[in-house]
Amino acid sequence: MYSYVARQPILDMNKNVIAYELLFRDGKSNSFPNIDPNQATSNILTNNHLTLGVEQVTGDLPAYINFHAETIIRRFPSFLDPKKMVIEILEDIEISSQLVESVKSLKEKGYTLALDDFDFDPKWDVLFPYIDIIKVDVLAFSLLEISKLVRKIPEMKITLLAEKVETLEQFEKLKMLGFTLFQGYFFAKPEMLKQRKITTTKQKILDLIGEASKVVLDNDVISEIFSTDPGLTYKLLRFINSPTYGNNQEITSLKHALIYIGELELKKFITLLALSDLSEGKCDEVMRLSLIRAKFCELISQTKLDEVNPPKAFLTGILSMIDGILDHDLEFVLNALPIHAEIKSALRNDNNYLNDYLTLAKLIEKGCWQESEALSNKINLTADYCFKEYQEALTWADGMLLNQ
């Protein structure tokens, strides 16, 4: 059995990922909604912190973890490192003298405390002296309501975190209201249509991705594209000389590099490099999620014994945020990408096997355990196995980003 975990990024005002909220379940039984939340939290930490290590899931960034009343009263978080943990107090707990005393004790031990899904109810006032962060579901209130409610928060050093931010407009307005931390998928959507045409440089990169989707590579064409972009060439050489792709090797030419890495790996690698250049100036989490999805789809495809040349599953995952990266409508981008029809169909969310893999990746990353289990069963794999592969993809993606 494997412990189920999803991580949702928390970003600062500059769209830098500064922490992750972790959503755990303990095996299939916890995918049902009636599980006791205190038992769930205990299992979360026992099965993950004491075995996998929370820091491996978060890439050494702080982890936000939900705690219900009983686990707080028992001071269960107290064996965790306060520097790497934010204790989220759930919105449906009962306020009691025992709870207040336990919250005070955890605060004195150096823990950062957050109120989850804060509803501005006066009952929470008694906890304010110990609270560092207030999380507000911005879809539950209008911006006008949020503006009025925020003014009622006592003038203390409390950080405001906006949950479920979906658009750039929301993001900018919430910053003006005093929010400094954010959760949501606003960074993955087009901010605006800045250009109706794709520039020549970007088109070359898209052509490079197109070359990677062919069954037979044309090294002359690929060498020519790389030779016009010293940055891409430099990244290729750096990656080849990293542990990710084997031992150090003296590369004598660009064609030597292309041959050394191997055709199938080169196809995936070309897409990674090209997407990295297109992502410049974007939130790092866009690239991270793209990599996780790519590796996960590839691992599932290998298990299913799909044809791997070209690496359609990998390309599907890594291109799953291409519309947000280019700030264009998806259909506009797909018309500019010379990729396989099955990949385009999957990216359009049409019903095919590649879309199943991509959808499964999205469900796991969001912590939708019941839906992910149903889809795992549909493709004749167990939910435990799929989640193990997702953990492998997550570790691989973080390792790739360290090498950039």
Task: Check whether residue 252 and residue 397 sit in a common domain.
Answer: yes
pLDDT score recorded for residue 209: 83
Task: Check whether residue 24 and residue 80 sit in a common domain.
Answer: yes
Task: Check whether residue 242 and residue 382 sit in a common domain.
Answer: yes
Structural domain count, the chain: 2
Phi, psi of 50 (to 5 degrees): -85, -10
pLDDT score recorded for residue 229: 66
- 108 lies in which domain range? 3-188
Give the CATH number, domain containing residue 151.
3.20.20.450
Last residue of a domain, one of 154, 188, 222: 188
DSSP-derived letter for residue 140 is S
Last residue of a domain, one of 188, 212, 231: 188
Dump pLDDT digits (tens) for 125-160: 899 999 999 999 998 999 899 998 888 786 678 999
Task: Check whether residue 241 and residue 309 sit in a common domain.
Answer: yes
Query: Is residue 118 domain-resident?
Result: yes
DSSP secondary structure of 242-306 = SGGG-S-----SHHHHHHHH-HHHHHHHHHHHHHHHHTTTS-HHHHHHHHHHHHHHHHHHHHTT-
Task: Check whether residue 248 and residue 316 sit in a common domain.
Answer: yes
- Reading the block at residue 387, the tokens are 């989640």
**64 within 8 A of 90, measured Cβ to Cβ:** no
Classified as helix, coil or strand, 71 is: helix
Dump pLDDT digits (tens) for 300-329: 999 999 988 888 999 899 889 888 777 778
Query: Is residue 364 domain-resident?
Result: yes
Task: Check whether residue 159 and residue 69 sit in a common domain.
Answer: yes
pLDDT over 70 (residue 35): no
Task: Check whether residue 160 and residue 208 sit in a common domain.
Answer: no
Task: Check whether residue 218 and residue 121 sit in a common domain.
Answer: no
Task: Check whether residue 214 and residue 128 sit in a common domain.
Answer: no
**226 within 8 A of 236, measured Cβ to Cβ:** yes
Dump pLDDT digits (tens) for 60-86: 789 898 887 777 887 666 667 788 889
More confident residue, 88 or 5: 88
Query: Is residue 207 domain-resident?
Result: yes
Give the CATH number, domain containing residue 313.
1.10.3210.10
Q: What is the mean pLDDT of residues 328-343?
A: 85
Nearest to 234 by CA among 295, 288, 276, 279: 276
With a threshold of 0.75, does the pTM exceed it?
Answer: no
Q: What is the mean pLDDT of residues 30-34?
A: 36
**11 within 8 A of 18, measured Cβ to Cβ:** yes
Task: Check whether residue 125 and residue 158 sit in a common domain.
Answer: yes
Dump pLDDT digits (tens) for 360-371: 999 998 888 889
pLDDT over 60 (residue 268): yes
Last residue of a domain, one of 149, 164, 188: 188
**Residue 156, Cβ neighbours under 10 Å: how many?**
9
∠84-87-90 over CA atoms, to 5°?
A: 155
Dump pLDDT digits (tens) for 196-225: 445 556 777 787 888 888 888 787 787 777
